Amino acid sequence: MSVSVAPIHKKKSWKRKSARLEREDEGAGPSQGEGEEEEEEELVNETETTRSLSLSELRDMRKDFSRHPGEHIVTWLLRCWDSGASSLELEGKEAKQLGSLSREGGTDKAIGKGSPALSLWRRLLSAIRERYPFKEDVVYRSRKWTTMEKGIQYLRELAVLEVIYGDLNNVWSPIDPDEVQCTRPMWRKLV
């Protein structure tokens, strides 16, 4: 079995040579060469191809993006973002072949929904939003942090929650947790 992932862009280039003949009027002055100019124009054609994954690559991808037992949903999603889920383009059939990523039947079914190619990150966000239609449905308890690294991690997890319930169809809405503006509720939870 194989699954196609992110498109690989290859460039093919051709050179077109065109000759243009210029006429000079008689007696107009000294001739410049033969009056023939040669132009080169380079055309670049980008083609998009997909490569197939082997079973071992598919298994490795499943390991990288599977939710660990007891892991909070937003912590799992942030780990998926950090592992590059936004760079993997999958069709619905291909996403189904990844198996149980979230360890929740309804969410896993929603990940494989739809046939157009979407990034794994968008599929994960849409699936969580479909499974938990309201922000309050996502069980996420605030935790105390004692180091700057843990505080930043907590703030990024709060940003993931904002991304899930933002407008995923709006191209101006951030889907990168690091680009989300800190809202007043996020600030209160952090403090």
Average of pLDDT values for 89-109? 80
Mean pLDDT (the chain) is 74
Q: Which pLDDT does position 187 carry in this prediction?
A: 82
Sort 83 into a burial class: Cβ within 10 Å, 0-12 / 13-18 / 19+. middle
The pLDDT, as a whole number, for residue 106 is 80
- Token representation of residue 94: 């291909």
pLDDT of 112? 78
Q: Whole-angstrom Cα distance, residue 99 to residue 103?
A: 9
Q: pLDDT for 45-90, tens place per residue? A: 555 556 555 667 777 778 889 889 988 899 999 999 999 888 888 8
Position 15 scores a pLDDT of 44
Three-state DSSP class for residue 47? strand
Per-residue pLDDT, 27: 53
Query: Tokens 């054609």 belong to which residue?
Result: 45
pTM of the predicted model as reported, rounded to 2 decimal places: 0.67
DSSP string, 78-143: HHHHHTTGGG-EE-HHHHHTT--SSS-HHHHHHHT--SS-EEHHHHHHHHHHHHS-SGGGS-----
pLDDT of residue 78: 92
Please say whether the beta carbons of 154 and 143 come within 8 A. yes
Helix (H, G, I), strand (E, B) or coil at 160: helix
Q: Where are the domains of the chain?
A: 55-190
pLDDT tens for residues 136-182? 777 777 778 888 998 889 899 999 988 988 887 777 778 888 888 88
